[in-house]
Structure formats: C-alpha cells, structure tokens
Structure 1
Amino acid sequence: MFTELCPNLRESPMVSSAITPKRTIAVLIGVAVIAVAAFAVVRSGVFEPETVQGAIPGPGSSSPSSSVSASPTPPAPSAQPSPSPTTPEQIKAQNIADAKARLEKYYETTAQVANNGYKDWDEELDPFWGHPDIWGPLAASYSELAQQGQYTTGAATVESSKVTDYADSAEGGFEEVSLAACVDFRSVRTFTESGDEVEREAGAPERYIFDYVMAHQGLNSVWTVNEQVPHPEQAC
C-alpha cells in the first residue's frame, strides 16, 4: 500500500550512543576540516514509508546446557581490545563501518516498531532521524498507521551498501557517509487492525536501491539518517 506523505517538520533530539566516530583523534593528528553543505531530500509521491517496515525474528529459544562438567573449564584468555584508528585512512574506514551498522540498526528498529503496531514509534525512531525533512513525512505516516491499527510481519533488510561519498565535515556538523543501499522488502506483509492483509499494489517494487546520507551528530553522539532517496526504478 502506498501512503501520501505529509510535510510536517520537527527537530529530532540527539541521543548518546556507543557508535562514535574518531573525530577527536582526527583533530589531534591534524586532519583538515572541509566544509560541505548537505540537505535532506525526500521525494514526495515516490517514497512509500510502508516499504521500510517489517518485523525482526526473535532470538532462538534454545540455551546452553546448565549441567556441570566433571572438569572445570579453564577461563579463556582476556581478549585484547582492538587498537584505536590513528591514521586518516583508518578513521575513515571506522566511520564508514559505523555508518553502515547504524543504517542496518535503523531498519531493524523500524521493523520491530511496525511489527508492534507502531506503538511508541516516536520514542524508538526519533534517535535515527537527523533532519526535519526526514522526520516530518515519516512521522506523519507512522502516526496515521498507528491510529489505523495497522501492523506488519516480516522484515525489510539492507542486503548490501556501497559508499558513494565521504565528507570529513559537513556545515555545522561532523562526518558524513553517503551510501547506495540495496533494500529487500519481499518478506514484509501488511495487515489491518482486524487482521486482513493489505495487498501490495500491483507492480510495486520489492527490492531496489535507496540513497542515504548518514551524518554524525557530534562527539559521543549518534549517526543519523539525514537524507533518504528511493530509486524504485533501480532493481538490485
């Protein structure tokens, strides 16, 4: 089902996260700061919010045996922490890895929210949205779906992503990573409050490319989705 998006805007709070780029290190080693302006883009009439919704399968119910062995197992040696990146190349690689991981987490969280009938969608998804042009239309759509009592099963997944651009610093911000992501919606099914399945519109693509700009929000803060542009004409 395709939903018309509303232009409501709202500033999203910045939330602390363990995903933190090595910005401080970059400054200490003298990496030049390049100002790059970035603006969020959402194509009204093309982007369908319901196509990014689904559910994440729960963890397995099996657990390790609690029986005690005859001989105690010696403790494993302590794992050595990975060295922090120090060169510009290492810092860039770490930032790219963190941005990709954050995008995958965004889809996982969106799937969980949709599977739960969009309950508490704002609390769960606000931390992922870094620009009002992203928050506005998605918030309007999710609010309407929650009021209608719709829910989904299945999960949209990021099958792959490749870097299309990297900026050490954007205007008024920090690092930005641009990604072309192949997203698969084939397992996602949408239902009404009464349990009737909402059939996918004829010809609607199920696996295609999205362009994303993932932006960091500052030291000890999160990576956010600042731009999201679908390309349903680009199958993957």
Structure 2
Amino acid sequence: MFTEFCPKLRELPMVSSAITPKRTIAVLIGVAVIAVGAFAIVRSGVFEPESVQGAIPGPGSSSPSASASPSPSASEEAPTPSASPTTPGQIKAQNIADAKARLVKYYETTAQVANNGYKDWDTELRPFWGHPALRSSLRAAYTQSAASGDYTTGAASIETMNVTEYKASDVGNEEVHLNACVDFGQVRNFSEGGEEVPRASGAPSRYQFDYVMRHQGKDSYWTVNDQSPHPEQAC
C-alpha cells in the first residue's frame, strides 16, 4: 500500500477520538461490505506550487498562530454539531466540522514548516496526505526550498469553506468535499540570505481551491485526499 510515498494506516499516529467520525448505526444482513481502498483517486491536475508563485502558505515570523484559524466568515459557516450526535443530521454536521478543522490544521502545519525553512517537511506533513500523489506533487518544491534555505513569512487565511458534497460511509471512510477561498496576500517568500522573492507579475493572491477530505477509518483521522487550485477563480 503505497509504501514509498505514504505510511500504512496502522502506522499512522493515533489522535483524539474527537476527530473520529460519527456514523449512523446500521445492521447489514447478508451483505458483504468490501472496502475498495483507503485512498480516494486523485485527479490528474494535482497542485504544483511552482505554477503560482507565493501560493505556499506561511505564518508570520512573530505570530505563527495567525494562520491557524480561519477568518470569522469561515468559522460562522461551520455547522454547530451536537455534543453527542445521534441523528443523521447531527452526525453529518460533526463530520463536516471535523473535516474543516483538519483542513485548517493542515494549513497551520504547512505554515509552520514554511516559516522554519521547510525543515522536516515530510515528517510534519505526511500524516495529512491521504494519497501519495499529493506528496509527489509537492516533494520537488519542498525539497529544493529546504536545501536552498528558503522560507516564508506572512499568513495565508481561509476566508470561506463551503461544502460541495458529503459522502457517508458504514466502514469509516466518510468524505467531505470543500470549496475554499484562500487568501495568500500576506505571504512573502524569502531566499536564505533574506532577500525577498517578489510575486510574479499578474499572479493571483486570492483564489479558490477544491478539497476532498477523507477519513481513514475507525481510530484514525481525516486526510487531504485531493486539492485542486483554481487560480483563475478569484474570490
């Protein structure tokens, strides 16, 4: 199972049950439930950060937590799940809230890595990637940045997160599809010597992404299984 690019599920670190999805209890009589696979199929156009300069998020050097929280508009749009969800609607709301929180944590961790010169990027970010194609698409850029001593400051912010699709599951592999507006306007890129690398002329700083967040089963957590940038779609 993708031994080169992604750890086996049993090797993934355990996390709080707070982000384990809640599912409607169902009794399946005479039906064999077959798990097709732990990872969703990633579309061909995976994110290549070098295609849009300044698109890799990074925190402010003095306040790395700034990028950890979405803007008020994103928070306000998040569902308010029950403390102990039991109905299908409550369970769905809990899963959506958990998937959104995981995406925010992904941005926070990516920002910390970028702010620290991309050191240990693979160790820090691998648990967030649910498909090897995501790591593959970022590997060259992150490896080169780490070797060159590049780093970022500023703070990318998730302005909005809208659910475009929700897929329930009886085996723990729920999916939440999100359309997010991300603002990279405060992100600044620097070389090792502290010289700022200017954003390419005409490169957008605020545009939309489509994300597929997928849960990896009982006692596991949410991962990013697909991310598709749309720099042509301003937001």
TM-score by length of 2: 0.77
Residues 58 and 137 of structure 1: CA distance in aligned 2, closer, same or farther (over 3 Å) = closer
Q: Which whole-Å CA distance do the structure 2 matches of 1:12 and 1:35 have between them?
A: 18
AA partner of residue 57 (structure 2): Q
Q: Distance in 2 between matches of 1:91 and 1:167?
A: 12
Paired position in structure 1 for 2:6: 11
- Partner residue, 1:168: 168
- The structural deviation recorded for 1:47 is 3.4
Q: Which amino acid aligns with 2:211?
A: Y
Mapped partners of 1:215, 1:59: distance in 2: 25
Structure 2: where are the runs of 5+ without partners?
67-81
Deviating 4+ runs (over 6 angstroms) = 32-37
**Compared CA separation, residues 175 and 169, structure 1 to 2 (3 A):** same
1:183 equivalent to 2:182? Answer yes
> Shift of residue 202 of structure 1?
0.7
1:84 aligns with 2:88: no
Structure 1 residue aligned with 2:25? 27
Rg (Cα) greater in structure:
1
**2: distance between equivalents of 1:100 and 1:142?**
24
8 Å CA contact 2:165, 2:178 repeated in 1 = yes
- 1:160 Cα deviation (Å)? 0.8
Residue of structure 2 equivalent to 1:43: 45
Matched pairs, number: 202
Query: Cα distance 1:222–1:117, how it changes in 2: closer, same or farther (>3 A)?
Result: same
Match in the other structure for 1:3? none
Deviation at 1:43, TM superposition (A): 2.1
- Deviates most, 96-105 or 13-22: 13-22
Which residue does 2:122 correspond to in 1? Answer: 122
Report the secondary structure of 1:100's partner residue: helix
Q: Percent identity, aligned pairs only?
A: 58
Q: Aligned equivalents of 2:174 and 2:118: distance in 1?
A: 31
1:72 corresponding residue in structure 2:
none
Unpaired segments ≥5 residues, structure 1: 1-8, 61-81
TM-score (norm 1): 0.77
